[in-house]
Chains A and B, each alone.
Chain A
Amino acid sequence: MTATTITGRINGRELTLRVDNATLLLDLLRDMGLTGAKPSCEMEICGACTVQLNGLPVSACTTLAVELDGGAVETVEHLDAGGELHPVQRAFLQHSALQCGFCTPGMVMTAKALLEQNPSPTREEVIHWLEGSICRCTGYEPIVDAILAASA
């Protein structure tokens, strides 16, 4: 396999890695034990693999691992690194915004990215931002409620 040496930050830790060019970011992360991001649709439609790459939400399933070079990726595992849940995670709990939980890491990372770009979104803006993040059990109302509750 043809490989590239990259240096980037994964959840705040700078790492230098040799990665095969054909490796996807999702698999690099999951092989490191960061299994919050889920393989699901595998085609950028469902949002279950959402992580933040350089602050922006991306589909890790369709992002090459080498894109981490010179950048930083954050996954759901990092959100309670300070010992406390992130405000978005607390709001999801308070609003029962999850049921089976499969989509939740992607939803939380998507919501976090939104609030970093726009700390006080309207309900419409939240809904627009969540287009392409699919939940098949809870439904979207409690998720939208939770994100609005976590907003400034």
Chain B
Amino acid sequence: MRTFFKNRLFAAGALIICLQVAVAALAPWIMPHDPFDINLEKRLTAPAREYPLGTDALGRCVLSRVMYATRVSLGLSAIASAVIVAVGSAIGMLSGLCGGRTDRAIMQLVNVMLAFPSLILALVISGLIGPSLRGAVAGVAIAGWAPYARLVRGMTLAAREKEYVTAASFLGTRGIRLAARHIFPQILPSLAVLSSYEVKSVILAISGLGFLGLGAQPPTPELGGMLNEARLVMLSAPHLMAAPGVMLFITVLGFSLFGEGFRDIFQIKK
């Protein structure tokens, strides 16, 4: 554990992530106001004592909304990342272990998926499902599993070369048992590192969809959605963009540092 925190990138990233998660988890209790509470008498006010970060076009507390939005964005990103890693590893291991025709078919599909720019693909899919939280997660997950599947397939092929895997399969270990006991433990460290590194792009994708109106629907605050709302009043209240923007920046920075540090520690190349 000590060696982990000696790595400054890792330590800084971990600290930022911890703070973010704390804010997200504790939001309902530490928010100064109800983020949904509309106060039309105090629209677009500048930061002041009552509203530390001012109010938005409907007079809602921006600080409370950013806190709540962090909760929503981090939650969605966590779910989407988990789905991507789980689905990607399952398909990748299947491909690597089965080989032959199954392998070629899966890899063709992966190539097709990789041919589309992922944000556009996510946009189309969540548009088809309908603008909602579920749609955003599904869109990002469906657009994002392919590179993981390819990565895990490669790692599986390398892991199969170990002599103890040959020994196990000769002794009759097959299928899920072989994958779970002899293959997966080998690829887990690299997988953990690579997925920690990728969380940041999931966060950006989710916020991107939110900005385009395909994530959380009003009145639910979400960092990308808040940026979009602030854009409409950018000339009269430019500070409204700063709050969600800075929050997003810090979050992505945290995960980038964390991932970089994690990778350095395990000496894994991208």
- Are these two chains actual partners, yes or no? no
Which B positions have Cβ atoms within 8 angstroms of A? none
